[in-house]
Homo-oligomer: A and B are copies of this chain.
């Protein structure tokens, strides 16, 4: 593969696609006319019950392309054969993008991002998205590897905010964070062992806050790509906070 303009354009488009699956989530997404849908995928093996008929009817009404394929091809699209129930839907999200493209376009801007390293709990991911969106964070870097991926559970836990939040995808976090720091961003690993606190940082520089795994914290490779380490001061000898709480305290610190 080459990085021709054609390829990059295609890649940007596919990066903006979010594939959801399962009969109920797909039906709910089709019923919400504010969601831009790209394509509906149906497995040939689906029994034509009421739910499937309703899904096909809504897709037809909204003039959405329907692709039929065999069970195996569908599971490659949903990436979750156990739970897709033979149905997948590509959403084309305007706020979905690529972390490196964001960096190119915002080199001279001020921004605050969250980057997620090994956040595996979908409930936490959804809550992080909700808090970041409500607190006014400019975007959320979500690597394709090692994190929970956006699925119906996450969408539910985000309570509708997923579609309002800039989600920036990358393959792996460490090399992307290095590029951001080379372009002048401060990259801060949150760690309860850090000596500096959230309060000490200079708010005028573009900043990425890196949140680590619920149990193990930020991984060594990612911490290595960070320029700063910060902690949130805690009382009563408490040693750690839920990662979604940490995300909220960061996101809201200018707001209230």
Which residues of A come within 8 Å of B, CB atoms? 127, 130-131, 133-136, 159, 161, 164-165, 197-199, 232-238, 240-242, 244-245, 248-249, 252-253, 255-256
Q: Give complex CA distance A178, B131 in Å.
A: 32
Q: Which residues of B contact A134 (CB under 8 A)?
A: 234-236, 238, 241
Closest chain B residue to A245, Cβ basis? B248
The CB with the most chain B CB atoms within 10 A, among A235, A241, A245, is that of A245
Partner of A256, one of B161, B233, B242: B233
Copies of this chain = 2
A130 B241 Cβ-Cβ under 8 A: yes
Closest chain B residue to A230, Cβ basis? B256
Q: Give complex CA distance A235, B138 in Å.
A: 11
A-B contact pairs, 30 of them (CB 8 A): A127-B242, A127-B245, A130-B241, A130-B242, A130-B245, A131-B241, A133-B238, A134-B234, A134-B235, A134-B236, A134-B241, A135-B234, A136-B236, A159-B240, A161-B238, A164-B236, A164-B237, A197-B256, A198-B256, A232-B256, A233-B256, A241-B248, A242-B244, A244-B244, A244-B245, A245-B245, A245-B248, A248-B248, A249-B249, A253-B256
Q: Give complex CA distance A199, B130 in Å.
A: 21
A252 B236 Cβ-Cβ under 8 A: no
Closest chain B residue to A238, Cβ basis? B134
Please judge, given known A-B contacts A245-B244, A245-B248, A248-B245, whether A255 and B238 are in contact too, CB under 8 Å.
Answer: no
Q: Give complex CA distance A241, B136 in Å.
A: 13
